[in-house]
Structure 1
Amino acid sequence: MLLMIKMMKPFYTLQEGNDLKLVFAYQYFSVVKGTEVYQFIPVESNEIRINLKTKQIENLTDIFVFQRGTRIFRIPLFQLLQISDLIDHLKSITTFYIQEAKTLAEAESFNEEIFHLEIQNLQRLIDKALSDGDREMFMLLTDKLKAEEAAH
Structure 2
Amino acid sequence: MLSVQRMTPFFTRKEEFRLRLVFAYQYLSIVKGDELFHFIPTEGKEIVINMKSLQVENLGEVFVFQRGNRFIRLPLYQLLLISDIHSHLKTIMEGSLDVGMEIQVELTEEVLVESKELIESLETENRRRMIDYALETNDLDLFNELTEGMQQT
| Alignment TM-score > 0.5, same fold | yes
Structure 1 residue 51: deviation in Å?
Answer: 0.4
Correspondence list, 1:61-72, <5 A:
61-72=60-71
Distance, in Å, in 2 between the alignment partners of 1:34 and 1:45 is 23
Distance, in Å, in 1 between the alignment partners of 2:86 and 2:111 is 34
SS state of the match for residue 48, structure 1?
strand
- 1:10 and 2:20 matched: no
| Aligned residue number for residue 124 of structure 1 | none
Distance, in Å, in 1 between the alignment partners of 2:48 and 2:110 is 29
SS state of the match for residue 9, structure 2?
coil
Structure 1 residue 73: deviation in Å?
Answer: 1.0
Higher Cα Rg, which structure? 2
| Aligned residue number for residue 91 of structure 2 | 92
The amino acid across from 1:18 in the alignment is F
Structure 1 residue 27: deviation in Å?
Answer: 1.5
The one-character-per-residue Cα deviations of 1:78-109 (angstroms, maximum 9, x if unpaired) are: 11111100011000001232443233331453
| Aligned residue number for residue 58 of structure 2 | 59
| Aligned residue number for residue 100 of structure 2 | 101
Give structure 2 stretches of 5+ with no counterpart. 121-151
The number of aligned residues is 119
> Structure 1 residues 91 and 113 mapped into 2: Cα distance closer, same or farther (>3 Å)?
same
- 1:48 and 2:39 matched: no
Distance, in Å, in 2 between the alignment partners of 1:16 and 1:108 is 16
SS state of the match for residue 60, structure 2?
coil
Give structure 1 stretches of 5+ with no counterpart. 121-130, 132-152
| Aligned residue number for residue 127 of structure 2 | none
